[in-house]
Structures are given as C-alpha cells and as structure tokens.
Amino acid sequence: MKKSVLVLLILAFTLSAVAQEGDPEVKTMKKELKEQKKDTTKILLKRKTVKIIEDEDEGETRIYVKKHHKDDWEFFTDKPDFRGSWTGISFGLSNFVNKDYSISRAAGDEFMDLNTGKSWNLNLNFAQYSVNLINNQLGLVTGLGLEINYYRFDNNNSIQEDPAGVIISKSLPIDWNIEKSKFVTTYATLPLLLEFHTSSSQREGIVISAGLISGLKLGAKTKIVYEENGDKKKEKTRDDFNLNPFRYGLTARLGVGDVLVYGTYYLNPLFESGKYSGSEDLYPISVGIAFSFE
C-alpha cells in the first residue's frame, strides 16, 4: 500500500521535487520518525512536505500535506469521494403509454399517435449533490436538470384548446404539404436517486442508479413545418396546453463508468385532469443513453 501511495504522490507533486538532506528540517523529521509509534513517512519537496501515516492497528493510511509557508497540515485521503452520475447530458426516444403500458391509441384518440423514431427526449443535467452512504460505493444523489421532449405527431394534425380549455385535435388545411408537426414540452427536473458503484473509482465499474424524479413545467409549444404553393412555412403556437404543472415518476440508469442507459416513466398524466379529450390518460415515457460529466 505504502509503495503505491508513494508512487502516486511522487507523480502528483514531483517533477520539481528536490531532496534536501542537509536541511535542518530533514534532521528534525528523522528525529520525529524515531519517536513515532506508527509507521510514518515524510517527503520533503520544494514547496511542501508530504507526511504518510500507515496505522497497522486501524488498517488505514492517512496522508497530510503542509505548504512550507504555512503551519497547518491539510488532510488528504487515498480514497475518492462518492460522486453520482446525474450531471451530464442524455438523449433518447419519447412516447406516451396508457394505464396498460401500451403506446397504441384507442379509436378517436389517433391524433395523439407519435412517430416514436422521430420523437426525442433531451436532458441537460447541470447540478448535482452526492451523499456517501457506504464505502464510497453506495450513496444518495440529487440535483437539477432540464428535460425537453419533442413529440412528433404521426398524422397530419396538431393539438389545440377548445373554448372550454380541453385539448383536442387541430385539423390542418388539406392544401398544406406537411413536413412535420410536433409538440414540445420543457420541464425543470429534480431527482432523488440511490446509486451503487461496483468500484470506488467513479470512472470505472458498473453503475446502478434508481429512484424518483419530479418535474416543474417551464413551457410548451406546437410547431408545424409545411409547404404551401411551393413556399416553405412554419407555424408556432406557444401555450399552456393544460399540461400538468408538476409531475413525478420513476427513473433508472445502468452502465459502465460514465456511459449509461436510462429509462423514465411519469406516474401522473401528461395533461391536467378533465383537460384532455382522449378516452385514456397519457403517461410520458422515455429511454436513451446518458453521458455523465461529473
């Protein structure tokens, strides 16, 4: 253990290190070593001194570093802190399921059919806080993120609110050559995850993460790209669309190192109760790949 620690320390601090055997401080160190009951090693560098204490009784190695212009020793450990895998970017596919976990729409609800291969889920997770529970391998993870869903309608339609505020199908003019019609939602997200790493090194080993995720609505819009009389046009509508302002669900991740696959399922419906004309409530789901930057 001591040899490996020494090698790491020399690689980290040295290139500029010069032993000063004739220095009075070195003689003082040698005297202190004789008086130590624990196995202690000191390395004198140009601008700092490194002290390694290996306690056989406690079975641990402690590392202290003192800069020469300061009196206090700073404690270092040879084990990394626990860090979760939330921070980063992830993208995948999105759709809706009913209570039977089917993506097929009932008769009359086809206007909410999606082209899954062109319906995207994007997550930008920019803040993270991790709490170690066991041996820097099991911990709790929370943070903040931004989730954007691009739902691509499979049919030549969009959605709108009727006079009563209920979401219904929006028929498009027959002379429009529809290139794409999509519905975009944006939520701020906050997770609470239990995460396990098979290795205490955060860049290696298998990562398993699962828990709860909540979302706060930030905005929504529809966008239609079409061609009319040879001209390409766009129609955008920003609205509330009676989306649930707060949503909650389950999320899980599995991967190796910084690359993981993920899945998310929201437990409350996409639209507020009584504000959707379809015969079955819709629950957002997404699956994809995540890259952790922590």
Confidence check: pLDDT of 37 > 60: no
Residue 69 pLDDT grade (very low, low, confident, very high; cuts 50, 70, 90): low
SS3 call for 66: strand
Residue with tokens 């066991």: 134
- pLDDT, tens digit, 9 for 90 and up, residues 138-184: 999 999 999 999 999 999 999 999 999 999 999 999 889 999 999 99
Q: Across the strands, what pairs with 192?
A: 142, 212
Structure tokens at 87: 């921070």
d(CA 266, CA 286): 9
More confident residue, 11 or 124: 124
Say if residue 228's pLDDT is above 90: no
Mean pLDDT of 256-271: 96
pLDDT in tens, 193-218: 999 999 877 677 899 999 999 999 99
Q: Which residue has the higher pLDDT, 211 or 35?
A: 211
Give me the chain's average pLDDT, please: 84
| Spatial CB neighbours of 48, under 8 Å, sequence gap ≥ 6 | 13, 65, 66, 67, 68
Residue 234: the pLDDT is 94
Higher pLDDT, 39 or 256: 256
Is the pLDDT at 17 greater than 60? The verdict is no
How far is residue 149's CA from residue 30's CA, in Å, rounded to a whole number?
65
Answer yes or no: is pLDDT of 1 > 50: no
What's the half-sphere exposure (Cβ side, CA atoms, 13 Å) at 198?
9
Residue 94 vs residue 39, higher pLDDT: 94
SS3 164: coil
Look at the block and give the residue holding tokens 């000063």.
Answer: 20
Is the pTM of the predicted complex or chain greater than 0.75?
A: no
Identify which of 112, 154, 13, 89 has the alpha carbon closest to the alpha carbon of residue 290.
Answer: 89
294: pLDDT strictly greater than 90? no
- Quick check: helix, strand or coil at residue 27? helix
| Residue 222 binned pLDDT confidence (cut-offs 50, 70, 90) | very high
Higher pLDDT, 110 or 41: 110
Q: How far is 1 from 257, CA to CA, in rounded Å? A: 25
